Structure 1
């Protein structure tokens, strides 16, 4: 559940969304319109919350205005694929290990903490996974299973998978950014 600290992660089984598709599209549209008009510095700062790579955020902000959500998501993917290893390391440094709700059993907290420590010891960075579509009650099991599996990866394989998870996280965070920008006046 890394990245949960920043608004994070999800994966498969869709969670029912109480907001209608037309309401979401309206929020995306008006939010994207607002995002497109933010000052460059404000857009870059907001984008850094989606992906902690300065190069990625600068590139995404510079390519505004985006005509629709699909275009901004495609641009996000493209910018993510173009990141150098140092850019990915910068983005990973901005991620935090996930936390459990304080009411979760102590054993779950300990198991998750130990799994993250093992992962960080092996690969030198926070474990990231996109958990979009999973219910919160499924997060711990999904994260623990993924860490177990990914600990067996060689460093190159894990680097590639980590970059893909970062792209997925950025996409989800952009959708959230645009939706939130459509619901409220710009904070900038």
Structure 2
């Protein structure tokens, strides 16, 4: 937490942007320092994510990579996943995002394909709510990973 509280606003915002590419989110999290502990930081990150408008989420979505598959995934799976991503992007106009926290590598492909198929049935407003939640979860997971990488003893996400 020392790094988070001691960093300049600009340095912290740049770090936070690696967790969620929303300038509004990173600015809000940075401006509410100091944080007494990880729980307070994560609560502030959650609150800031809940307050994002669709324009802020669109900014974040533009920088999101597609979910990665384990390296030993067979070629047919990549083809199926590419088709599913294309269908999703055609329907909703942005990349598919999903938090894969807690899944083992052998669960990832089935989980992603199942989620895309399920979410393709959402209307655009329902999907916006799901996307907002997935981005919030991804930001939280990445924030914990970033802190862990900075030498902090953050608990498992």
- TM-score category by the smaller chain? over 0.9
Structure 1 counterpart of 2:155? none
Give TM-score, length-normalised by structure 2.
0.93
Cα RMSD between the aligned structures?
1.1
Matched, 1:63 2:45: no
Is it true that 1:145 corresponds to 2:136 in the alignment? Answer: no
Q: State the partner residue of 1:103.
A: 72
d(CA) in 2 for partners of 1:179 and 1:40? Answer: 20
Structure 1 outlier segments of 4+, above 6 Å: none
> 1:102, CA displacement in angstroms?
4.3
Unaligned runs of 5+ in 2: 153-157
Can you list the C-alpha shifts for 1:44-102, whole angstroms capped at 9, x where unaligned?
01100111111101111111211111111110111011111100100111101123344
Matched with 2:101 is 132
State how far apart, in whole Å, the 1-side matches of 2:122 and 2:42 are.
28
Which of the pair has the greater relative contact order for Cα pairs under 8 Å at 6+ separation? 1
* Residue pair 1:76, 1:171 contacting (<8 A) in 2 also: yes
The count of residues paired between Structure 1 and Structure 2 equals 152
Q: In structure 1, the residue corresponding to 2:100 is in which secondary structure?
A: coil
Q: Match for residue 53 of structure 1?
A: 22
Instruction: Measure how far apart 1:40 and its partner are.
Output: 1.4
CA contact (8 A) 1:43 1:61 kept: yes
Q: Cα offset for 1:180?
A: 1.2
The question of whether the paired residues in 2 share the 8 Å contact of 1:35 and 1:181 is answered with no
